[in-house]
Structure 1
């Protein structure tokens, strides 16, 4: 079964989880309107199910850091998480 990438990121005010669909103008997205805490794995699993996806067998979340200005290490860090997902059988919950 084809896998896709789901990512979760925060701008310091909200968390967004989205499934990357290259070539599409709108990506399936869930938002948590809170700066913290980081959405739990269970919250992420439920959000993916709402969008019609599930974590691919054997996949795990990985985290990376980014910055709005990579040349200035004093700017706030942006956290980005990623995991491989697949469409759930039967689609969205």
Structure 2
């Protein structure tokens, strides 16, 4: 029987001109408690860069997970406000996977 893992969602977004990756942990309601990684470049981090950042934070994508993308407005009340991409992928703790 396949082992079940706690799935967490990793998000990648542009914040103040820099790309940020963070893992929204279940059971940690405050965003300040979530692991995060800031990328120095302003261009979208590559798949490899995102994978390395997740690994450094102690996470791996769950089997068959893929990055999905959506967009969000900087001011949802203003349809003319700039939009930014938001990527997300389901991940699991490397520590849990090793157990």
- The alignment's TM-score, normalised by the length of structure 2, stands at 0.81
- Larger relative helix fraction: 2
**Residue 35 (structure 1) shift:** 1.9
Contact 1:13-1:33 at 8 Å conserved across structures: no
What corresponds to 1:35 in structure 2?
42
Q: Which runs of 5+ in 2 are unaligned?
A: none
Contact 1:12-1:35 at 8 Å conserved across structures: no
Q: Which runs of 5+ in 1 are unaligned?
A: none
Superposition pairs of residues 60-71 of structure 1, within 5 angstroms: 60-71=66-77
CA distance in 2, matches of 1:31, 1:71: 28
Task: Return closer, same or farther for 1:63/1:54 CA change in 2, 3 Å cut-off.
Answer: same
For the pair shown, the structure with the greater C-alpha radius of gyration is 2
Superposition pairs of residues 11-90 of structure 1, within 5 angstroms: 11=15, 13-24=17-28, 25=30, 26-36=33-43, 38-89=44-95
Aligned length: 90
Q: CA RMSD in A?
A: 1.8
CA distance in 1, matches of 2:16, 2:69: 16
